[in-house]
Structure 1
Amino acid sequence: MGDPRYIVLFGACLTQFTVIGMLFSFGLFLPSFEAELGWSRTFLSTCTALAFLVMGVLAMPGGRLSDALGPRIVLACTGTLYGIGFVLMSQVTAQLQLLVIFGTLIGLGLSSHDVVTLSTIARWFPRRRGIMSGVVKVGTAVGQIALPPVAALLIVAYGWRAALLMLGITASVLLLIAALSMQRPPAPAAGTSSIITGASFAEARRGAGARVFWTLCATQFLFFPALMSVPLHLAVHGMDLGMTQTLAATMLSVIGAASIAGRLIMGALVDRIGGKMAYTICLLVLLVSLAALILTTAHGGLFVVVAVYGFGHGALFVVVSPTVAEYFGMRAHGAIFGTVLFFGTLGGSVGPILTGWVFDSFGSYTPAFITLALSAAIAIVLVRTLPRPEVAVLDP
């Protein structure tokens, strides 16, 4: 038998690969929904925003359920339902049907993919949380690279409904395999001081670490809309600029490829330079890419901008969990991390709707991209106010 830590790592990577790869692929279906059913991008963005909101609401209880029941049961249930959601999506004929699917099944699948996998990995690898979080999120990047082109080919070959059906069945199978690979650390590992020390959830919210806690929540709220809106609208934005569907799908793969570097480099650096500096670097990269996205219309230049964005996109998903552990320890990591993610999904639920509404209203994504860039700039200012970690950590 192999080392159980790396079996768990495999399960976490496969979960990320499937859940986020499928989510990225959904943007390729927007033109089909528009052409066949006449649904606006505002409505389609509202569906994904609803899923993000459900993800945030369920992230906190999802982390607690994982602590109580173990990651295997939680991920098996939510992963199977996520795949079923895409299967049912292939049969929709009314807007309410799509809203219900995203507000239940897709939201449930998204709710556990980060908080359960990354919290479990943080417990299995207490001395290498940053780099191992980066490795797990490489699974996300590989999904972003691999699945959108597959989805594009399936749409061309079989039509969008059959493509969703095949992708949904495949997702359920992969996520069940991933869930069966997950397990809690054995009792000795769970009892080490590196895992049980730190602030309680109440101390994080109201005690000496409250300023750090709410700063992290506000920062997540500000930058997360860009991480949710750009991937959803990027492919159709490229098609608006004259790209073919396949070429536009390639931009999503570029995000995934560039994010591998961001995840691994920042995953290694966050353990050395600390969360505050890591956040600053990631947000600066994001801000530069969003500013360039506003100004770029040439296809070649857009691919360069997308690569820069992909680095920042991937890196930002890596720094949150280790930074929470750095400031608050592991005593209530799941609850604190889940709450920070919740605030991110609040912002993430607004971003796609705003972006779709801007396009429907003005025929351009430029005002939305400007708003996302300003939010990233404010997030940088907030991060720079964070204290040194030893000031905020509350060891009992």
Structure 2
Amino acid sequence: MAPTPVGTPDGGWGWVVAAATFTVNGLSYGLLRSLGLALPDLAEHFDRTSQDTAWVSALALAVQQAASPVGSALSTRWGARPVVMVGGILTSLGFVFSAFAGSLLHLYLGLGVLAGSGWALVFAPALGTVSRYFSRRRVFAVGLALMGNGASSLLLAPALQLLLDTFGWRGALLLLGAITLHLTPCGALLRPLELPGDPPAPPRGPLAALGLDLFAHRAFLVFALGTVLIAGGYFVPYVHLAPHALDRGLGGYRAALVVAVAAVADASARLVCGWLADQGWVPLPRLLAVFGALTGLGLLAVGLVPVVGSEEGWGGSLLAVAGAYGLSAGCFTPLVFGVLPGLVGIGGVVQATGLVMMLMSLGGLLGPPLSGFLRDETGDFTASFLVCGSLVLSGSFIYMGLPGAVPSCSRASPPATPPPERGELLPIPQVALLSSGAPHSTQEATC
């Protein structure tokens, strides 16, 4: 079906697209977050270290994110609908293939490469389509779609533990293959939409198709550097929060409860923060830097709980800090993608989403294995969370270099940005990317 040129609907079928992306997010990142519960079983079965088994999740995460620009480029050329449907089939095949693994290499190929490649084709096109359907409520819609991560973790963490106890890791992976096949009908719901800001023809050439020319602009380059550092620590709880709880003596279901508490807080914060950001009270880059820093502090707290807590009461303390970490991380996530239209324009948001996923893969590939290495060397995950929390804090400081991230030194309030016309850009301090590569902001400093 050919897309019909219209303005941004700011709702309508966009809510169906947001619901489909909610499920896509849950069956990708939500599933990855819960998959850490299976790592101890894999380590025991194959007689390997935590560092070795961590590469299963790390490879899946890295491939999913590193190949996301390919998913964006294919979506720009063929549309999001067929690309996401094919990605769902590949992801399901990856889990089925891994259920018959005879070695960790088999799992690296099945979950890491095959399932990871499928995930790369579903997330960026789906989330980019949500941004195209909304204007004034864009960050709220993105936050709603990204709630799938936390909601899925809430359901999948105890469900996966039950599957592991009942059917073993092979049966659990086989059933997850059937569940992830639901990504395909989600892709069918992504109705194509043309907007006035779209280029007249699909970009030609590999650099243009992948959107790599965006790195020529200073604002996006600052954003990219901060994102790489943050990704080095942000995904460690996805893989090692459950093993961290298991290491400290919590049973499988109590460890799953820790993951579930973080998931509930994460999911709730994404929706609330999305609504808050759309009000335009605080520039998005400033919110991004603040909640990035709070996420880093949350990771430090997760690592310090076993040190400062009592032997009897640390389990309850871990639940509390896991909830606090979930709140800050949940607020951070929609802001990362919500700030993109203000940096690159609505016409480039799908490509920019794919590039963000690729950037996250650079840190995400090293973070979980580094965490596993530190655990093997020190005997617990304390050093792992401290190091990774420091990386997130460092990236948040770099975000302060984005236009609008630091308050003006003038006491006078800057003029308010008028409401967007036809849904072209978010109602935030806009950063226009000029042909010369130098960005400028619509709000001038009065220093």
**Is the structural similarity TM-score above 0.5?**
yes
| 1:246 aligned residue | 253
1:96 and 2:96 matched = no
Q: 2: CA distance between counterparts of 1:341 and 1:81?
A: 19
Instruction: Spell out, residue by residue over 1:91-142, the C-alpha distance to the aligned partner (whole angstroms, 9 max, x if none).
Output: 1111221111133212113313431111100111133211100000112211
- CA-to-partner distance for each residue in 1:56-99, whole Å, 9 max, x for gaps? 33111211111221212111111121122122222111122111
1:183 lines up with 2:199 in the alignment = no
| CA distance in structure 2 between the partners assigned to 1:80 and 1:391 by the alignment | 39
1:47–1:99 CA contact under 8 A, matched in 2 = yes
Whole-angstrom distance in 2 between the partners of 1:131 and 1:252 = 24
The match for 1:167 among 176, 188, 193 is: 176
**Structure 2 contact 66–357 (Cα < 8 Å) conserved:** no
Offset of residue 203 of structure 1: 6.2
Pairing 1:208-287 to 2, within 5 Å after superposition: 210-271=217-278, 272=280, 273-287=282-296
Secondary structure of residue in 1 paired with 2:433: coil
Residues 132-183 of structure 1, C-alpha deviation per residue, up to 9 Å, x if partnerless? 00000112211011111111111112222112211211221x2122112122
Name which of structure 1's ranges 318-327 and 237-246 shifts more when overlaid on structure 2: 318-327
CA-to-aligned-CA distance 1:199-233 (integer Å, 9 cap, x gap): x9576322xxx221111111111111322111211
Of the two, which has the highest radius of gyration? 2
CA distance in 2: counterparts of 1:81 and 1:205, whole angstroms: 30
Letter in 2 for 1:125: F
SS in 2 for 1:387: coil
Range that drifts further, 237-246 or 338-347 = 338-347
Aligned to 2:324: 308
Partner of 1:82: 91
| Corresponding position: 1:394 with 2:437 | no
- Secondary structure of the residue that 1:331 maps to in structure 2? helix
Corresponding residue of 2:149:
140
Question: 1:113/1:144 Cα in 2 relative to 1: closer, same or farther (>3 Å)?
Answer: farther
Identity %: 25
Whether contact under 8 Å (1:258, 1:307) holds in the other structure is: yes
Question: CA separation of 1:33/1:177 partners in 2, compared to 1, >3 Å: closer, same or farther?
Answer: same
Match of residue 360 from structure 1: 376
- C-alpha separation in 2, matches of 1:249 and 1:20: 16
Structure 1 residues 293-325: Cα deviation after superposition (integer angstroms, max 9, x where no partner)? 122020000000100111122222211222111
Q: 1:110 to 1:203 in 2, by over 3 A?
A: closer
* Aligned-residue RMSD, C-alpha: 2.1
- Runs (4+) of structure 1 exceeding 3 A deviation are 200-204, 388-392
Ranges in structure 2 where 5+ consecutive residues have no aligned partner: 1-10, 201-207, 307-313, 405-427, 436-447
Match of 2:386 among 360, 370, 373: 370
Q: Is the 8 A contact 1:48 1:349 kept in 2?
A: no
Task: Write out aligned runs for 1:44-123 (5 A).
Answer: 44-123=53-132
Q: Is this contact kept in 1: 2:233–2:363, CA < 8 A?
A: no
Instruction: State the alpha-carbon separation in 2 of the partners of residues 19 and 46 from structure 1.
Output: 17
Q: Distance in 2 between matches of 1:114 and 1:282?
A: 23
Matches of 1:370 and 1:291 in 2, distance apart? Answer: 5
TM superposition score normalised by structure 1:
0.91
Shift of the 341–158 alpha-carbon distance from structure 1 to 2, 3 Å rule, reads closer
Aligned to 1:39: 48
Match of 2:349 in 1: 333
Separation in 1, partners of 2:101, 2:36? 16
Could you tell me how far 1:326 is from its partner in structure 2?
1.2
Secondary structure, aligned partner of 1:296? helix
Contact 1:262 1:312 (C-alpha < 8 Å) held by counterparts: yes
- The Cα of 1:196 is off from its aligned counterpart by 6.3
Distance in 2, matches of 1:274 and 1:74, equals 34
Q: Distance in 1 between matches of 2:239 and 2:189?
A: 30
The SS at the match of 1:242 is coil
1:376 corresponds to which letter in structure 2?
V
Q: Secondary structure at the match of 1:393?
A: strand
What does residue 294 of structure 1 align with? 303
* Number of the residue aligned with 2:30: 21
Amino acid across the alignment from 1:137: L
Q: Is the 8 A contact 2:270 2:334 kept in 1?
A: yes
Name the structure where helix makes up a greater proportion of residues.
1
Instruction: State how far apart, in whole Å, the 1-side matches of 2:233 and 2:174 are.
Output: 29
